[in-house]
Amino acid sequence: MLGEEDMYRFSIAAAAALAVWTTSVDAGGIDRSGQPIGPLFEPGNYVEFSFRSASPDVSGVGAATGPTPGAATGDSLDGFGLFGTALKFSVNDKIDTAFIFDQPFGADLAYPPSLYFASGAVARLRSNAFTGIVRYKFNDNFSVYGGLRQQSMKASVVVPYVAGYTAAGANDNQLGYLVGAAFERADIALRVALTYFSPIEHNLSTVETSALTPPGGLTSDTTIETPQAINLDFQTGIAPGTLLFGGVRWVEWSKFEIAPTHFAAIAFGAPLVSFSDDRFTYTLGVGRKLNDRWAIAGQVVHEPQVGGFASNLSPVDGYTSVGLGVTYTQDNMKLQAGVSHTWVGDATTALFGVPAGDFSDNTALGFGMKVGFSF
């Protein structure tokens, strides 16, 4: 059994794991942050700042039945960086509040010049989310929490292989919510938290152009609904100074699509981007306290492939990632760093229902840093 002091040390080991973010190259569609709420469970008052980056290497060749058989695509995904911050207050023995900023969804695709049919295609998507959460503790074991998420989104795309199509969607802000419950036992460093995130519907004012539009293009609203999701996170002590942690994340990607009005008209009703199945992502890891200053952690993250055709603007299908993280603690400061290596799942893209590109043997490297202060 573990006392309160050991529980605090366990939280350090768990925090080391949190620095090992999965930089999974658009895993599960355009999912990036995993919508974290970990700061809500930090003891006392707490503030943190984080940064992580990914360097993907994703390429393929034209499928035998496609318009450019055997043509190399070149590296189709650009590297990206993500910022995050959180502020947590302990109001009293029963109530905690947290304010979290993350960048939950994104895309950074750019096919370089080549003989591949999608050469020159570009897709960019940016989102920011501010979340306010209130947690009520019934006792030392049970708590419930809920809050609002204000999310912004904008997007742009260039699809030269469909009548020279381009689109730019203006920034849009909308509200969503989250609710959850947690069970904890401090004596064994146990915590199980279940969190539901609502879908958020955006309507982006979009200017579309192609070889078939008048000069200046056409303007309409494009509806993009970011999907509902459920996170199940857990941690438990398994030996003095050792923590087992993990989680399952489900995202309803099967209902996600981006279908601007003019693109659907010239692409025989096909959406610009869509995903055929929901996604489950599984995490399992171990954190270990080395001494009063240092803790390390390692984890494995797996998102199974779902098969079928992938989008030409997101040519991946599942992944497996391994990561290592370290935490250094001094007084009220906690400094964390982590690295990850991801094996990206093979994918086949299609053009009007016919296999167009084969993407295989791809990888990504990730790096993350976080600094937190208790006060």
pLDDT at res. 30: 87
Q: What is the pTM of this model?
A: 0.93
Q: How confident is the model at residue 29 (pLDDT cuts 50, 70, 90)?
A: low
CB-based contact 336:301 (threshold 8 Å): no
Q: Spell out the residues 6+ positions from residue 109 whose beta carbon is closer than 8 angstroms to its own.
A: 76, 77, 78, 121, 122, 123, 124, 313, 314
Pairwise pLDDT comparison (228 vs 20), residue with the higher score: 228
C-alpha 258/C-alpha 319 separation (Å) is 23
pLDDT at res. 8: 44
Output Rg (C-alpha) for the chain, integer angstroms.
Answer: 22
Q: Encode pLDDT of 232-272 as tens digits.
A: 999 999 988 899 999 999 999 999 999 999 999 999 899 99
- Domain map (residue ranges) of the chain: 4-374
C-alpha 187/C-alpha 173 separation (Å) is 43
Q: How confident is the model at residue 23 (pLDDT cuts 50, 70, 90)?
A: very low
Q: 264 φ, ψ to 5°?
A: -60, -35
- pLDDT averaged over every residue in the chain: 91
- CB contact burial 102-127 (16+ within 10 A = b; e otherwise): bbbbbbbbebeebebbbbebbbbbbb
Residue 19, pLDDT above cutoff 60? no
Q: 196 φ, ψ to 5°?
A: -110, 130
Q: Encode pLDDT of 100-118 as tens digits.
A: 999 999 999 999 999 999 9
What would the CATH number be for the domain defined by 4-374? Answer: 2.40.160.60
Reduced to 3 states (helix: H, G, I; strand: E, B; else coil), residue 34 is: coil
Residue 3, pLDDT above cutoff 90? no
Residue 79, pLDDT above cutoff 60? yes
